[in-house]
Structure 1
Amino acid sequence: MTKKRYSREFKEEVVQYYHDHEGLGYLSVARAFDIPSDETVRIWIKKKEKDGDNAFAPKSRGKRTHEVKKRIKKKSAPISTEEWEDPRDIVERMAFLEAENAYLKKLLMLRKEGRS
């Protein structure tokens, strides 16, 4: 069974209806709006009492931008020029990194194939 999503306006309307008709319980309100569970109505009412006008405001989804920015700012320590005096060292290091990269790509591809 899929979970039904209700709009912010609909939730506000249900909560307002509950407050306008004080004699009605959660079940009666749920039936009036064709909501399968009275527990849903109870949760909305409690949330409205707790959070006020922002109770049903849309929530941001995904990663927060400041977390991403922090991750981008973190860089490895710069390599000193003393380590790379000989150009052959640079070529050797580059060859090693290219081989490592190819190995990791192949490993990733094999793992993806194994899951399929």
Structure 2
Amino acid sequence: MAKYSLAFKLCGVRHREHDGFGSRTTATHFGIDHGTVDKWCAAYRAHGEDGLRKRYRRYSSAFKAAVLHRMTSEGWSTRQTCAIFDIPAQRTLQQWQRAFAQGGMAALEPKRRGRPPKMAKHKPHSPPLTQRPKAPENMTTDELHERLAYLEAENAYLKKLKALAQEKRSAEKKKRG
């Protein structure tokens, strides 16, 4: 939910623009900052009611660079630039300025959002169960050693699993008895 509704913003703009009050008087009347009133009035003058609506946008790096260039060449303030280009927050423009000063055009590129990409899946070390292993007489020495290591690991795993199951059963018997 937006901090201020569209109707509230329109009331503030009308109070200042149509009723002839200043931004400080309007701000005091509505209990808000006078800078906010100025921002709303500038956005309303430039874009009408659409300038007061809450929206979320992503801007291209070319647009960001064009806005910054125009702002410096025309000598506009951040408030004026935001009103003219319909950018909702001055902070956004200030972040663009800082990023451009530190990293140039590359720093204005949009950042990737969301989860990082998944890791690449690794192929299993052992052959799939559907694939039959080669006959031992057709294997090289290295393949025989690899097969032997795999079978030894599988055997050790099954022995450990059996021992844990037996230990669990004996613990349950002790608990009962």
TM superposition score normalised by structure 2: 0.35
**RCO (CA 8 Å, sep 6+): is it higher in 1 or 2?**
1
Which one has the largest radius of gyration? 2
TM superposition score normalised by structure 1: 0.50
